[in-house]
């Protein structure tokens, strides 16, 4: 059945052309959504703009109550949401359940944070003045999200926007709009005022063009590739749009020779193979100090060889399909390039055609180096390339030799070495003996070409607020 747009509290888009949504595990059509464009985007922005005075005028406690209601509804419908997510993007059902909880946690945490949106009083330089800093919601927010976290990337933006008093217009990825539409049905149940939460699907370039040109949109929050992020930044220049950009990554995992090897192996496997290697913070390059290089590779290869690949709905599957065939082609290109330049294949190294066109074997490559594509480009797939290093300084230099700066991982039992190394890493997020660092209450975001701003934590709310300085003469 065709799902619809949620705009101004109503379902619309029946008349529009339809886009099919495919299940990457089976290639079956799993749903249909309307192909919206500039007009639909403009209508949604108008609705959000009209309700802005009402929404910002509510107390933080009132806004939090709506958000809490949605949070509880998401948990109540966890199983159903997880099923939709696995069916449209392929991640194993256990991971999908985890994502529903993670996604809901942004509503819970920011509902509470709404009540702590403090301003400031500054001591004045003369007796007859009172200097104050007030916080104001930035205005209508437009959110554009990717397919790899179909719910969490929406709520990580909705949470702080709604808490701050900003209505939101969202455009999910064309690959995964069904989870997003189900979330809108829950928003309807939570009875947000019409226009506070809106969602449209369709042509990304047309919807993007309207969002960037429409003066009512005061802030863009985007998660996706660095390439599209740069386009949006250019398009936003004319109106000096507020921008938050959560972009690509190429995370290094550095394993020092005093690491607990088993902990490092398990941590690296979690970081690398979660979501089939399709997260922006997935380890994409593993550097292991020479004294433990062989031991690490041997144990890591054993763990990877046991990962079960298949349809994410089946019990016990660790790695599902990639999002589409282009994803498989990119992964295979990286592997073939590395092998042709001298890397050795320890595990995997090919598609699993028997399962369908979107599956790729979890793969371990040994003796890679920086001449290889895989050490320079985001792979977004289940391939772990491993390179040896000698000194901590060399590890930092290798880790930093990328235009990206999102997440890095360090495995060491030494506080002294860990602290020195991390201080030298140009990365916005570091997991120290930890392969899964994300949490709603912590600032998530990158340095360098991985983006601008932070999502989550108090910093996440700040990005949806304007600072207004008020000087009062008394």
Check binding of 449 to ligand NAP (CB under 6 A). no
Q: Mark the segment that binds ligand NAP (CB under 6 A) among 35-43, 121-129, 217-225, 330-338.
A: 217-225
Active site residue 280: yes
Tokens encoding 67: 């958000």
Residue of 19, 146, 149, 32 whose CA lies nearest to 82: 149
Check binding of 12 to ligand NAP (CB under 6 A). no
Q: Could you give the CA distance from residue 302 to residue 126 in angstroms, rounded to a whole number?
A: 71
Check binding of 280 to ligand NAP (CB under 6 A). yes
Active site residue 246: yes
Q: What character string, x for contact with ligand NAP (CB under 6 A) and - otherwise, covers 418-447?
A: ----------------------------x-
**374 neighbors 402 (Cβ within 8 angstroms):** no
Check binding of 154 to ligand NAP (CB under 6 A). no
From 166, 187, 280, 358, active-site residue: 280
* Shortest distance (Å) from residue 456 CB to ligand NAP: 10
Check binding of 249 to ligand NAP (CB under 6 A). yes
Residue of 465, 474, 443 whose CA lies nearest to 118: 465
Tokens encoding 51: 């309700």
Task: Report the site for ligand NAP in 378-397 (rule: CB under 6 A).
Answer: 378
Q: Could you give the CA distance from residue 365 to residue 350 in angstroms, rounded to a whole number?
A: 12
Q: What character string, x for contact with ligand NAP (CB under 6 A) and - otherwise, covers 331-370?
A: ----------------------------------------
**DSSP at 30:** E
Q: Could you give the CA distance from residue 460 to residue 456 in angstroms, rounded to a whole number?
A: 4
Check binding of 144 to ligand NAP (CB under 6 A). yes
List the one residue from 68, 225, 400, 459 that touches ligand NAP (CB under 6 A): 225
List the one residue from 246, 392, 449, 463 that touches ligand NAP (CB under 6 A): 246
> Which residues are bridge partners to 135 per DSSP?
467
Cβ nearer to ligand NAP, comparing 198 with 301? 198
Residue of 373, 384, 398 whose CA lies nearest to 299: 384
* Shortest distance (Å) from residue 282 CB to ligand NAP: 8
Sign of CA dihedral 283, 284, 290, 293: positive
**399 neighbors 408 (Cβ within 8 angstroms):** yes
* Shortest distance (Å) from residue 203 CB to ligand NAP: 8
Residue-level length of the chain: 474
Q: Alpha helices of 77-168 — where are they, by DSSP H?
A: 78-89, 93-113, 152-164
Cβ nearer to ligand NAP, comparing 74 with 154? 154
Tokens encoding 118: 């403090």
Which residues make up the interface to ligand NAP (CB under 6 A)?
144-149, 171, 173-175, 204-205, 208, 223-225, 228, 231, 246-249, 280, 378, 406, 446, 451
Catalytic residues: 246, 280
């Amino acid at each position: 059945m065709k799902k619809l747009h949620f705009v101004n509290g109503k379902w619309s888009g029946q008349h529009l052309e339809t886009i099919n949504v495919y299940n990457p595990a089976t290639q079956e059509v799993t749903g249909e959504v309307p192909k919206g464009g500039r007009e639909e985007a403009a209508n949604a922005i108008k609705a959000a703009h009209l309700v802005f005075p009402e929404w910002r005028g509510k107390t933080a406690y009132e806004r939090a109550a709506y958000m809490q209601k949605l949070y509880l509804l998401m948990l109540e419908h966890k199983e159903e949401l997880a099923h939709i997510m696995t069916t449209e993007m392929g991640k194993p059902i256990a991971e999908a359940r985890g994502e529903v909880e993670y996604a809901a946690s942004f509503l819970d945490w920011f509902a509470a944070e709404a009540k702590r949106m403090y301003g400031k009083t500054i001591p004045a330089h003369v007796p007859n003045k009172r200097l104050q800093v007030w916080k104001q919601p930035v205005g209508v927010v437009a959110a554009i999200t990717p397919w790899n976290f179909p719910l969490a990337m929406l709520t990580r933006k909705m949470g702080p926007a709604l808490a701050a008093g900003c209505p939101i217009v969202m455009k999910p990825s064309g690959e995964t709009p069904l989870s997003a539409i189900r979330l809108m049905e829950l928003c309807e149940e939570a009875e947000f005022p019409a226009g506070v939460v809106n969602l449209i699907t369709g042509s990304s370039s047309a919807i993007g063009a309207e969002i960037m040109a429409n003066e009512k949109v005061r802030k863009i929050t985007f998660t996706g590739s660095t390439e599209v992020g740069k386009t949006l930044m250019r398009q936003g220049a004319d109106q000096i749009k507020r921008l938050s950009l959560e972009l690509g990554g190429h995370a290094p995992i550095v394993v020092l020779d005093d690491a607990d090897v088993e902990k490092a192996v398990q941590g690296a496997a979690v970081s690398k193979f979660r979501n089939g290697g399709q997260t922006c913070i997935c380890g994409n390059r593993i550097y292991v100090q020479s004294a433990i290089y062989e031991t690490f590779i041997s144990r890591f290869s054993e763990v990877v060889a046991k990962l079960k690949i298949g349809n994410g709905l089946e019990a016990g599957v660790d790695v599902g399909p990639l999002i589409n065939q282009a994803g498989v082609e990119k992964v295979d290109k990286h592997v073939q390039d590395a092998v042709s330049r001298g890397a050795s294949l320890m595990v995997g190294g090919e598609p699993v055609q028997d399962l369908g066109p979107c599956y790729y074997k979890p793969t371990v490559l040994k003796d890679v180096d920086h001449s290889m594509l895989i050490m320079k480009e985001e792979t977004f797939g289940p391939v772990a390339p491993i390179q040896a290093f000698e000194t901590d300084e060399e590890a930092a230099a290798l880790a930093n030799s990328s235009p990206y700066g999102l997440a890095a991982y360090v495995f060491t039992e030494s506080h002294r070495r860990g602290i020195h190394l991390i201080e030298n890493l140009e990365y916005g997020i570091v997991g120290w003996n930890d392969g899964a660092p994300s949490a709603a209450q912590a600032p998530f975001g990158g340095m360098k070409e991985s983006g601008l701003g932070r999502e989550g934590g108090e910093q996440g709310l700040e990005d949806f607020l304007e600072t207004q300085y008020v000087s009062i003469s008394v």
